[in-house]
Structures are given as structure tokens and as C-alpha cells.
Structure 1
Amino acid sequence: MLGQAGLTFLAFCAVASAIYIGNDLVDVHADRVHPHKRHRPLASGLVSTAQARMLGGLLVGLGCGLAATVSWPVLALAMGYIAINAAYSLRLKHAPILDVFCICAGFMLRILAGTVGLGIHPSSWLLLCGLMFTLFLGFAKRRAELMLMQQHPKRTTRRVLHAYKPEMLEQYLSISATCTVLSYALYTVSPDTIELHGTDRLIYTVPLIIYGIFRYLLLLHSHGAGQDTARDLLRDRQLLLCVLAWLALTVGLIR
């Protein structure tokens, strides 16, 4: 089981890397005038477009090959992931709201692939929580980009931002954050969750989820965060400690 999970993880790492390369190929000219993205390998000229295409093709082949060794459902999820992200890169990223849902769909396919790779049935509440959390992160990214656009109006490279308004994104963030907390809380008290993990005390991890979301919103509005979640997590000590505390408490409760 763990071997299949590892192969699934590697397969989606390869496919996701190929998608990022493809997206950079499509946006290479726009990225060259972006205040931050102009330092990327393609935009800066460090890597040629021919090299990027070759590497992207190899990664797609590797990812699909690894997915096929796990199971046909994992391969189907990987191909669906490629299709959705290709549509996003070529057209759907210019469609407001739908652009964030496409990003969200990619994350949801990764979650589903992980459950298939582990051979477990995904919880409906956990899937709903994943959906709302990825929507929250997606709209947080758009809010951060909108604030950056207001600071550098001549360097705006994402056309869809002109369709978003700050107050609109604030409402989307409020809705998705609330639904994330509620769906996670309901997941912790679900009979299936209690039976699977042998404890009804996962509800005690909910305050950490709430704190983490509140902290991220603070970073978004006061410290220019939101464009790179991984970077924000590693740079902010409180957010990192919150995640580690949640992980430690969760592991401790289900042991």
C-alpha cells in the first residue's frame, strides 16, 4: 500500500511539474514584465523554450507511466489533472471564478489520487473540506495579486484580475473560510471518522484550524502574503508552529 502511495505521489509530482512548465511557456512574455515572475528560469532566459518543452514532455510521460503502474483509476486521475490544467493555462485562467475552481479541481484530483493510491475510501466531509480550503487559498491568491496590481498597475499580467473587486474577493474568502472550518469540524465528529481512527477527540484540533486561517488572513492583509502558500508557511513562525501543532495533536489523538 505504501509503495503504491509513493508511486502515486511521484506520478503527480512529475505531472504537476510538467503543468507548471507548460503554464510558464504560455505566459513567458507576460512574466517578463511581472515584478516577481520575471526572475523565473523561462522568463529570465536561463532556460530556453525548447529545453522547457522537452523537459515537460518527459515529465508527462514519466508521470503517466508511474500512474499506470499503480492502477488505471490513478492514471485516469492523472490524465484528468493534465486536461484541466491545460484548459486552465490556455483559456480558463481568464474566466473569473472559473479560474479558481480550475485550480481547486487540480488539488481535489490530487487528494482523490492519494486516497486511491492508499486504497482507502475518501470521506465526503474531508473532500468537502479540501474543496473549500483550496477555494480559500485560490481566492486569497487572487486577493494578493489584486493588491500587487494596485501597487504596480503597469506591470499587471493577469487579465482576469480586472474582473475582480476587493469587496467581492473578501466575500469569497469569508464564505470559503467559514465552510472550511465547518466541514472540517463535521469531519472530526463524523461516525465514519470516529470508527476509522478510533477516537472522537479530533474535534480538539478545530481551534488550530481556526487560528491558522485567521493568521493567514492577517498575513494576507498586513504582510503581503497570499501569492505563494508554501513560502508564507515557511516564513511565518506562528503559522508554521500552528501546522506542526495540528499535526502533532492529530497524530497523538489517533494513536
Structure 2
Amino acid sequence: MDIFLEPFFQRALIGGILIGLTAPLMGTFLVLRRLSMIGDTLAHVSIAGVALGFLINVYPLGTGLLFALLASFAIEQLRKTYRTYAELSIAIIMSGGVALATLLFTLGKGFNMNVMSYFFGSVYTLDTADIAVVGGVSALVLIVICLHFKEFFLMFFDEEAASVSGLPVRAYNIAVTMLTALVISVSIKIVGALLVSALLTIPVACSLVVGRSFRHSVGMAVLYSEVAVMIGLVVAGVWDLAPGATVVLTLIVLLIGTLTFKMGLRRRA
């Protein structure tokens, strides 16, 4: 297929593969923390940053990334304040992000069409700078996860035990939230702010069905994600469809197929 020879499609594949690797890694820890919806929150805040970038003529992905990082700090601070109602922090930040994005839209109506591409994804418009940012974030996530995998595992399964054992729990919580913010902010141009949460959670949902251990579940989540990204981008490229939508729909098909297969095995047993 000639589309594989096109530079824009090659950049799209590189960006998709990198995000397909890092998103489920962070998603696994978010699911364990029962913070699956944080993806939508940080994505909406990132959109506000992107809108500001267009408004002041600054690299939009950079301003979106900065906004997501600031939001991650705010979420952790609110989680500390409302310990019993930790999910309240997500609702507060999401409301603020949507309100700020709406305000910025009204201030710069001329760039609304450009911002819309970040809502629904525009993987085929990735340039060299975008790939460099995505690659840098991916490298950072992989390094941190590899160096502190055991600590993260202990903390998210039993935070109290981790604290008693001397782990800096608050620092690790902030680190994970910040890494998640980075991944989400660079993902919105690939799958879109409205769909980025799916790339964080659906591969994890698939892996929890077939995973035999935590490490195996993490590996399976990455595998599901990469398969969906590759199939989704190829289908979108060949039939001229929305790439973010085809990736997410492929994930849903994989989830349904996995659940059906698992139910079939249980019935036979």
C-alpha cells in the first residue's frame, strides 16, 4: 500500500506507537488508584492550554502540556485536602478546565477550527517537533517506570503499607500524576481530547481479563494498545476515516472479543 511510503503516515505510525506504549502503562496505575476519569480531566485542561497557545501564538502542544502539569499539581493538592472524597478533585479541575477552555474559545473565535483538531485528534498533522515532544515524554515515562516499578506496585496495592515501609508516597503520587499529564497532553493531537481516556483505560480493561499477574497484565495492556493503534491507523489511512475514532473502536472490539472468549472458556469449564 502506497500510504506506508507517505512521510505523514510514517510520522503518524511513530507517534501512535509511542503513545500506544506509554498510555496503557500510566493507565494501569490510574486504574489501580481508582482514578480512571483523570484522563478526561487533564485532557480538557490541556485543551484550554492549546487554546491559549493559539491565542498568543505560542506552540499549542507546549502550552497544553504546561496546563496539564499545573492541573496535576492541583489535583494532588485537592486529593490531600479531601482525603475521603478524592474523586472530588477530578470534578473540580475538570469543571475549571472546561470553563477556561470555553472562555478562551470566545476570546479567539478565529482559531476554533484549529482547536477542534485537538478535540478529535489529528495524527496525520504531526510534524518533526511533535514527534520529538512525544518521543521525549515516552522516554521519560519508560525510564521512571522501569526504575521505580516495584515501588509503584507496592504503593498502589497498599498505600498505607508503602508509607510505613518508608516510601515517599506523596512524591510518588505526584510523579505518577505528572507523568499522566504529560502523556495525555501529547496524546490529544493523536487520538483527541474526547477519546484519550479510552487509550488509558480500555487496554487495561482487556488485560485485567487475561492477565495472570500484575507484570503480565501491564504487558498485555501495552500489547492490546499497540495492536489497536496499528490496526486503527491503517484502517483510517486506507479508507480515509477519523484515526482517533478507528483506534478507539478497535480497542472496544478487542475488549468485546476478549470478554466473549473468556466467557466461552468458563462455560466449557
TM class by shorter chain equals 0.3 to 0.5
TM-score for both structures, normalised by structure 1: 0.33
TM-score for both structures, normalised by structure 2: 0.32
RCO (CA 8 Å, sep 6+): is it higher in 1 or 2? 2
